[in-house]
Structure 1
Protein backbone atom coordinates (compact mmCIF):
# COMPACT_ATOMS: atom_id res chain seq x y z
CA UNK A 1 0.00 0.00 0.00
CA UNK A 2 1.43 3.38 -1.00
CA UNK A 3 1.91 5.87 1.83
CA UNK A 4 1.32 9.63 1.69
CA UNK A 5 4.59 11.61 2.00
CA UNK A 6 4.83 13.25 5.44
CA UNK A 7 5.12 16.82 4.13
CA UNK A 8 1.99 16.59 1.93
CA UNK A 9 -1.42 16.81 3.60
CA UNK A 10 -3.60 13.76 2.95
CA UNK A 11 -6.55 14.27 0.63
CA UNK A 12 -8.36 11.34 2.22
CA UNK A 13 -8.07 9.42 5.48
CA UNK A 14 -6.99 5.81 5.31
CA UNK A 15 -5.48 3.92 2.39
CA UNK A 16 -3.95 5.64 -0.63
CA UNK A 17 -6.40 7.20 -3.08
CA UNK A 18 -5.53 4.61 -5.76
CA UNK A 19 -6.57 1.62 -3.61
CA UNK A 20 -9.82 0.15 -4.93
CA UNK A 21 -9.68 -3.50 -3.83
CA UNK A 22 -12.40 -3.95 -1.17
CA UNK A 23 -10.27 -6.25 1.00
CA UNK A 24 -7.36 -3.81 0.96
CA UNK A 25 -9.71 -0.86 1.62
CA UNK A 26 -11.35 -2.47 4.65
CA UNK A 27 -8.02 -3.55 6.15
CA UNK A 28 -6.46 -0.18 5.32
CA UNK A 29 -9.22 1.82 6.97
CA UNK A 30 -9.25 -0.48 9.97
CA UNK A 31 -5.50 0.08 10.35
CA UNK A 32 -5.99 3.85 9.95
CA UNK A 33 -8.53 3.85 12.80
CA UNK A 34 -6.28 1.71 15.00
CA UNK A 35 -3.51 4.26 14.47
CA UNK A 36 -5.99 7.11 15.10
CA UNK A 37 -6.72 5.52 18.47
CA UNK A 38 -3.02 5.71 19.35
CA UNK A 39 -2.69 9.28 18.02
CA UNK A 40 -5.58 10.41 20.19
CA UNK A 41 -4.02 8.83 23.30
CA UNK A 42 -0.61 10.41 22.66
CA UNK A 43 0.42 13.00 25.22
CA UNK A 44 -1.88 11.78 28.00
CA UNK A 45 -0.27 10.97 31.33
CA UNK A 46 -0.80 7.56 32.90
CA UNK A 47 -3.25 9.14 35.31
CA UNK A 48 -5.20 10.76 32.45
CA UNK A 49 -5.27 7.45 30.57
CA UNK A 50 -6.63 5.60 33.61
CA UNK A 51 -9.07 8.09 35.15
CA UNK A 52 -12.71 7.77 34.05
CA UNK A 53 -13.87 10.87 32.20
CA UNK A 54 -17.06 12.42 33.55
CA UNK A 55 -19.81 12.36 32.48
CA UNK A 56 -18.78 9.48 30.15
CA UNK A 57 -17.87 7.08 32.95
CA UNK A 58 -14.93 5.35 31.21
CA UNK A 59 -11.23 6.06 30.84
CA UNK A 60 -9.28 6.27 27.58
CA UNK A 61 -7.36 3.14 28.63
CA UNK A 62 -10.67 1.43 29.36
CA UNK A 63 -11.68 2.16 25.77
CA UNK A 64 -8.47 0.50 24.52
CA UNK A 65 -9.21 -2.51 26.71
CA UNK A 66 -12.77 -2.67 25.33
CA UNK A 67 -11.52 -2.53 21.73
CA UNK A 68 -9.15 -5.41 22.47
CA UNK A 69 -12.15 -7.46 23.60
CA UNK A 70 -14.08 -6.39 20.49
CA UNK A 71 -11.22 -7.53 18.21
CA UNK A 72 -11.05 -10.83 20.13
CA UNK A 73 -14.80 -11.47 19.99
CA UNK A 74 -15.29 -10.72 16.33
CA UNK A 75 -12.15 -12.20 14.83
CA UNK A 76 -10.87 -14.99 17.06
CA UNK A 77 -14.10 -16.21 18.67
CA UNK A 78 -16.36 -15.09 15.82
CA UNK A 79 -14.55 -15.58 12.52
CA UNK A 80 -12.03 -18.27 13.54
CA UNK A 81 -14.30 -20.00 16.11
CA UNK A 82 -11.42 -20.28 18.59
CA UNK A 83 -12.31 -21.73 21.96
CA UNK A 84 -11.45 -18.62 24.00
CA UNK A 85 -12.97 -16.43 26.68
CA UNK A 86 -14.97 -13.88 24.68
CA UNK A 87 -16.22 -11.70 27.55
CA UNK A 88 -14.59 -10.88 30.87
CA UNK A 89 -16.28 -12.56 33.86
CA UNK A 90 -17.45 -9.17 35.19
CA UNK A 91 -19.22 -8.24 31.94
CA UNK A 92 -19.25 -4.68 30.57
CA UNK A 93 -18.02 -3.15 33.81
CA UNK A 94 -14.87 -5.28 33.81
CA UNK A 95 -14.41 -4.86 30.06
CA UNK A 96 -14.32 -1.06 30.33
CA UNK A 97 -12.57 -0.75 33.73
CA UNK A 98 -8.83 -1.24 34.01
CA UNK A 99 -7.94 -2.95 37.28
CA UNK A 100 -5.59 -0.99 39.54
CA UNK A 101 -3.02 -3.80 39.38
CA UNK A 102 -3.05 -3.86 35.56
CA UNK A 103 -0.45 -1.56 34.04
CA UNK A 104 -0.98 0.63 30.99
CA UNK A 105 1.71 -1.40 29.23
CA UNK A 106 -0.21 -4.62 29.94
CA UNK A 107 -3.43 -3.22 28.46
CA UNK A 108 -1.55 -2.01 25.37
CA UNK A 109 0.26 -5.35 24.96
CA UNK A 110 -2.98 -7.33 25.13
CA UNK A 111 -4.67 -4.92 22.70
CA UNK A 112 -1.76 -5.14 20.21
CA UNK A 113 -1.80 -8.95 20.45
CA UNK A 114 -5.51 -9.01 19.59
CA UNK A 115 -4.91 -6.64 16.66
CA UNK A 116 -2.07 -8.84 15.39
CA UNK A 117 -4.24 -11.96 15.66
CA UNK A 118 -7.11 -10.22 13.85
CA UNK A 119 -4.79 -8.99 11.09
CA UNK A 120 -3.35 -12.46 10.62
CA UNK A 121 -6.81 -13.98 10.24
CA UNK A 122 -8.11 -11.20 7.98
CA UNK A 123 -5.17 -11.16 5.58
CA UNK A 124 -5.27 -14.95 5.14
CA UNK A 125 -8.96 -15.07 4.15
CA UNK A 126 -11.18 -13.69 1.40
CA UNK A 127 -13.96 -11.22 2.16
CA UNK A 128 -16.63 -13.74 1.16
CA UNK A 129 -15.24 -16.46 3.46
CA UNK A 130 -17.81 -17.28 6.13
CA UNK A 131 -17.08 -17.40 9.85
CA UNK A 132 -16.23 -20.87 11.12
CA UNK A 133 -18.91 -22.58 13.16
CA UNK A 134 -18.57 -23.43 16.83
CA UNK A 135 -17.40 -20.18 18.40
CA UNK A 136 -19.73 -17.21 18.29
CA UNK A 137 -21.77 -18.65 15.43
CA UNK A 138 -23.44 -22.04 15.80
CA UNK A 139 -25.27 -22.46 12.47
CA UNK A 140 -24.42 -21.58 8.86
CA UNK A 141 -27.22 -18.98 8.69
CA UNK A 142 -25.72 -17.14 11.67
CA UNK A 143 -22.18 -17.05 10.25
CA UNK A 144 -21.37 -13.74 8.53
CA UNK A 145 -18.68 -13.26 5.92
CA UNK A 146 -15.29 -11.82 6.80
CA UNK A 147 -16.30 -8.69 4.85
CA UNK A 148 -19.31 -8.20 7.12
CA UNK A 149 -17.20 -8.72 10.24
CA UNK A 150 -14.51 -6.28 9.07
CA UNK A 151 -17.18 -3.71 8.23
CA UNK A 152 -18.58 -4.14 11.75
CA UNK A 153 -15.11 -3.64 13.27
CA UNK A 154 -14.62 -0.54 11.13
CA UNK A 155 -17.85 1.07 12.35
CA UNK A 156 -16.99 0.08 15.94
CA UNK A 157 -13.68 1.94 15.67
CA UNK A 158 -15.20 4.95 13.89
CA UNK A 159 -17.80 5.33 16.62
CA UNK A 160 -15.36 4.88 19.49
CA UNK A 161 -12.74 7.21 18.00
CA UNK A 162 -15.48 9.85 17.97
CA UNK A 163 -16.18 9.09 21.62
CA UNK A 164 -12.47 9.40 22.36
CA UNK A 165 -12.43 12.83 20.68
CA UNK A 166 -15.04 13.96 23.20
CA UNK A 167 -13.16 12.40 26.12
CA UNK A 168 -9.90 14.01 25.04
CA UNK A 169 -11.52 17.41 24.78
CA UNK A 170 -12.94 17.01 28.28
CA UNK A 171 -9.56 15.87 29.65
CA UNK A 172 -7.27 18.54 28.25
CA UNK A 173 -9.03 20.54 25.53
CA UNK A 174 -7.29 18.70 22.66
CA UNK A 175 -9.48 18.27 19.60
CA UNK A 176 -9.10 15.69 16.85
CA UNK A 177 -9.01 15.80 13.11
Structure 2
Protein backbone atom coordinates (compact mmCIF):
# COMPACT_ATOMS: atom_id res chain seq x y z
CA UNK A 1 0.00 0.00 0.00
CA UNK A 2 1.41 3.41 -0.93
CA UNK A 3 1.76 6.34 1.46
CA UNK A 4 -1.32 8.17 0.18
CA UNK A 5 -3.47 5.07 0.71
CA UNK A 6 -2.07 4.45 4.20
CA UNK A 7 -2.68 8.06 5.25
CA UNK A 8 -6.19 7.98 3.76
CA UNK A 9 -6.99 4.79 5.68
CA UNK A 10 -5.75 6.43 8.89
CA UNK A 11 -7.89 9.50 8.19
CA UNK A 12 -11.00 7.38 7.64
CA UNK A 13 -10.26 5.48 10.85
CA UNK A 14 -9.91 8.72 12.84
CA UNK A 15 -13.24 9.97 11.47
CA UNK A 16 -14.97 6.69 12.33
CA UNK A 17 -13.69 6.83 15.91
CA UNK A 18 -14.81 10.45 16.20
CA UNK A 19 -18.32 9.71 14.95
CA UNK A 20 -18.68 6.76 17.35
CA UNK A 21 -18.56 9.25 20.24
CA UNK A 22 -21.85 10.81 19.11
CA UNK A 23 -23.92 7.66 19.54
CA UNK A 24 -26.77 7.67 22.05
CA UNK A 25 -26.51 11.28 23.20
CA UNK A 26 -29.22 13.87 23.72
CA UNK A 27 -29.21 17.29 22.07
CA UNK A 28 -28.17 18.74 25.40
CA UNK A 29 -25.20 16.39 25.75
CA UNK A 30 -24.07 17.09 22.18
CA UNK A 31 -23.99 20.84 22.84
CA UNK A 32 -23.10 21.44 26.48
CA UNK A 33 -19.70 22.94 27.28
CA UNK A 34 -17.65 20.66 29.51
CA UNK A 35 -14.29 22.41 29.77
CA UNK A 36 -13.38 25.89 31.00
CA UNK A 37 -12.97 26.94 27.34
CA UNK A 38 -16.40 25.65 26.29
CA UNK A 39 -15.41 22.46 24.46
CA UNK A 40 -18.50 20.58 23.32
CA UNK A 41 -19.01 17.64 21.00
CA UNK A 42 -21.08 19.17 18.23
CA UNK A 43 -18.96 22.30 18.02
CA UNK A 44 -15.75 20.30 17.68
CA UNK A 45 -17.36 18.24 14.92
CA UNK A 46 -18.42 21.40 13.05
CA UNK A 47 -14.83 22.64 13.34
CA UNK A 48 -13.51 19.35 11.94
CA UNK A 49 -15.93 19.58 9.02
CA UNK A 50 -14.55 23.04 8.33
CA UNK A 51 -11.01 21.68 8.32
CA UNK A 52 -11.92 18.89 5.88
CA UNK A 53 -13.74 21.45 3.71
CA UNK A 54 -10.98 24.07 3.71
CA UNK A 55 -7.93 21.86 3.30
CA UNK A 56 -9.13 18.96 1.19
CA UNK A 57 -11.88 20.61 -0.85
CA UNK A 58 -11.39 24.37 -1.31
CA UNK A 59 -7.60 24.08 -1.51
CA UNK A 60 -7.98 21.91 -4.61
CA UNK A 61 -10.84 23.81 -6.26
CA UNK A 62 -13.50 21.38 -5.07
CA UNK A 63 -15.95 23.63 -3.28
CA UNK A 64 -18.75 22.26 -1.19
CA UNK A 65 -21.73 24.22 0.03
CA UNK A 66 -20.62 26.18 3.08
CA UNK A 67 -21.33 24.79 6.52
CA UNK A 68 -24.73 25.46 8.03
CA UNK A 69 -24.32 28.71 9.93
CA UNK A 70 -26.83 31.08 11.50
CA UNK A 71 -27.99 34.08 9.46
CA UNK A 72 -26.26 36.57 11.76
CA UNK A 73 -22.84 34.90 11.48
CA UNK A 74 -19.92 37.29 11.29
CA UNK A 75 -16.20 37.39 12.01
CA UNK A 76 -16.91 35.31 15.09
CA UNK A 77 -15.81 32.32 12.99
CA UNK A 78 -12.18 33.32 13.50
CA UNK A 79 -12.72 33.61 17.27
CA UNK A 80 -14.02 30.14 18.15
CA UNK A 81 -17.37 30.78 16.49
CA UNK A 82 -17.13 27.44 14.70
CA UNK A 83 -16.60 25.58 17.97
CA UNK A 84 -20.21 25.67 19.17
CA UNK A 85 -23.69 25.30 17.75
CA UNK A 86 -26.48 27.76 18.52
CA UNK A 87 -29.87 26.56 19.69
CA UNK A 88 -31.42 27.57 16.36
CA UNK A 89 -29.07 25.25 14.46
CA UNK A 90 -29.86 21.61 13.80
CA UNK A 91 -27.47 18.91 15.01
CA UNK A 92 -28.63 16.82 12.04
CA UNK A 93 -27.50 19.56 9.66
CA UNK A 94 -24.08 19.79 11.31
CA UNK A 95 -23.62 16.01 11.18
CA UNK A 96 -24.81 15.86 7.56
CA UNK A 97 -22.44 18.65 6.58
CA UNK A 98 -19.51 16.90 8.28
CA UNK A 99 -20.32 13.72 6.34
CA UNK A 100 -20.59 15.70 3.07
CA UNK A 101 -17.26 17.44 3.70
CA UNK A 102 -15.58 14.09 4.41
CA UNK A 103 -17.09 12.50 1.30
CA UNK A 104 -15.88 15.38 -0.88
CA UNK A 105 -12.45 15.22 0.80
CA UNK A 106 -12.31 11.47 0.11
CA UNK A 107 -13.13 12.13 -3.53
CA UNK A 108 -10.31 14.68 -3.71
CA UNK A 109 -7.86 12.18 -2.25
CA UNK A 110 -8.99 9.46 -4.64
CA UNK A 111 -8.91 11.69 -7.75
CA UNK A 112 -5.62 13.52 -7.24
CA UNK A 113 -2.00 12.43 -7.01
CA UNK A 114 -0.15 12.74 -3.72
CA UNK A 115 1.94 15.63 -5.08
CA UNK A 116 -0.95 17.46 -6.80
CA UNK A 117 -0.64 21.20 -6.18
CA UNK A 118 -3.18 23.31 -4.34
CA UNK A 119 -3.51 26.71 -2.71
CA UNK A 120 -4.94 27.42 0.74
CA UNK A 121 -6.98 30.62 0.26
CA UNK A 122 -6.80 31.82 3.88
CA UNK A 123 -3.03 31.35 4.30
CA UNK A 124 -0.52 34.17 3.85
CA UNK A 125 -0.23 35.07 0.16
CA UNK A 126 3.43 33.99 -0.03
CA UNK A 127 2.79 30.62 1.61
CA UNK A 128 -0.45 29.37 0.04
CA UNK A 129 1.08 26.75 -2.24
CA UNK A 130 0.87 23.20 -1.00
CA UNK A 131 0.31 19.62 -2.14
CA UNK A 132 -2.36 17.03 -1.51
CA UNK A 133 0.10 15.01 0.57
CA UNK A 134 0.77 17.96 2.88
CA UNK A 135 -2.95 18.59 3.28
CA UNK A 136 -3.74 14.95 4.09
CA UNK A 137 -1.11 15.05 6.85
CA UNK A 138 -2.52 18.34 8.23
CA UNK A 139 -6.13 17.10 8.19
CA UNK A 140 -5.18 13.75 9.73
CA UNK A 141 -3.34 15.61 12.50
CA UNK A 142 -6.37 17.82 13.14
CA UNK A 143 -8.77 14.86 13.14
CA UNK A 144 -6.58 13.04 15.66
CA UNK A 145 -5.97 16.08 17.87
CA UNK A 146 -9.61 17.09 18.01
CA UNK A 147 -10.62 13.42 18.21
CA UNK A 148 -8.72 13.35 21.50
CA UNK A 149 -10.72 16.36 22.66
CA UNK A 150 -13.91 14.56 21.68
CA UNK A 151 -12.79 11.48 23.66
CA UNK A 152 -12.32 13.57 26.80
CA UNK A 153 -15.56 15.52 26.37
CA UNK A 154 -17.53 12.31 25.79
CA UNK A 155 -16.03 10.81 28.94
CA UNK A 156 -17.13 13.91 30.85
CA UNK A 157 -20.68 13.55 29.47
CA UNK A 158 -21.37 10.01 30.65
CA UNK A 159 -18.13 8.24 31.52
CA UNK A 160 -17.88 6.44 28.17
CA UNK A 161 -14.20 6.07 27.42
CA UNK A 162 -12.22 4.52 24.58
CA UNK A 163 -12.87 1.17 22.97
CA UNK A 164 -10.41 -0.58 25.32
CA UNK A 165 -12.04 0.79 28.49
CA UNK A 166 -13.69 -2.54 29.30
CA UNK A 167 -10.46 -4.47 28.70
CA UNK A 168 -8.85 -2.77 31.71
CA UNK A 169 -11.48 -3.94 34.14
CA UNK A 170 -14.71 -3.15 35.92
CA UNK A 171 -15.56 0.21 37.57
CA UNK A 172 -13.96 -0.86 40.87
CA UNK A 173 -10.63 -1.49 39.14
CA UNK A 174 -10.85 1.93 37.43
CA UNK A 175 -11.59 3.60 40.80
CA UNK A 176 -8.54 1.91 42.33
CA UNK A 177 -6.41 3.02 39.39
CA UNK A 178 -7.60 6.65 39.63
CA UNK A 179 -6.95 6.57 43.40
CA UNK A 180 -3.33 5.53 42.72
CA UNK A 181 -2.92 8.35 40.18
CA UNK A 182 -4.40 10.84 42.67
CA UNK A 183 -2.09 9.60 45.45
CA UNK A 184 0.94 10.15 43.22
CA UNK A 185 -0.25 13.69 42.47
CA UNK A 186 -1.07 14.38 46.14
CA UNK A 187 2.55 13.67 47.01
CA UNK A 188 3.38 16.97 45.29
CA UNK A 189 0.38 19.02 46.50
CA UNK A 190 1.62 22.38 47.66
CA UNK A 191 5.12 21.82 46.30
CA UNK A 192 6.22 24.40 43.69
The gaps in structure 1 that reach 5 residues or longer are 1-19
Pick from 153, 156, 177 the counterpart of residue 139 of structure 2: 153
Report the Cα distance in structure 2 between the residues aligned to 1:129 and 1:57, rounded to whole angstroms. 37
Q: Please report how far the alpha carbon of residue 141 of structure 1 lies from its aligned counterpart in structure 2 after TM superposition.
A: 5.8
The 3 A distance-change label for structure 1 pair 143 and 50 is same
Q: How many residues align?
A: 157
Correspondence for 1:46:
27
Correspondence for 1:25:
6
TM-score (norm 1): 0.78
TM-score (norm 2): 0.72
Correspondence for 1:63:
44
The 3 A distance-change label for structure 1 pair 143 and 100 is same
Report the Cα distance in structure 2 between the residues aligned to 1:85 and 1:164, rounded to whole angstroms. 23
Q: Please report how far the alpha carbon of residue 79 of structure 1 lies from its aligned counterpart in structure 2 after TM superposition.
A: 2.8
Mapped pair 1:176 → 2:162: yes
Conserved 8 A contact 1:80-1:135: no
Report the Cα distance in structure 1 between the residues aligned to 2:60 and 2:47, rounded to whole angstroms. 18
- 1:119-139 deviation per Cα after TM superposition (whole angstroms, max 9, x unaligned): 1111100111111x4834686
Q: Could you list the structure 1 runs, at least 4 aligned residues long, displaced by more than 4 angstroms after superposition.
A: 81-88, 136-141
The gaps in structure 2 that reach 5 residues or longer are 164-192
RMSD: 2.6
Conserved 8 A contact 1:76-1:82: yes
Who wins on radius of gyration, i.e. which is larger?
2
Conserved 8 A contact 1:80-1:121: no
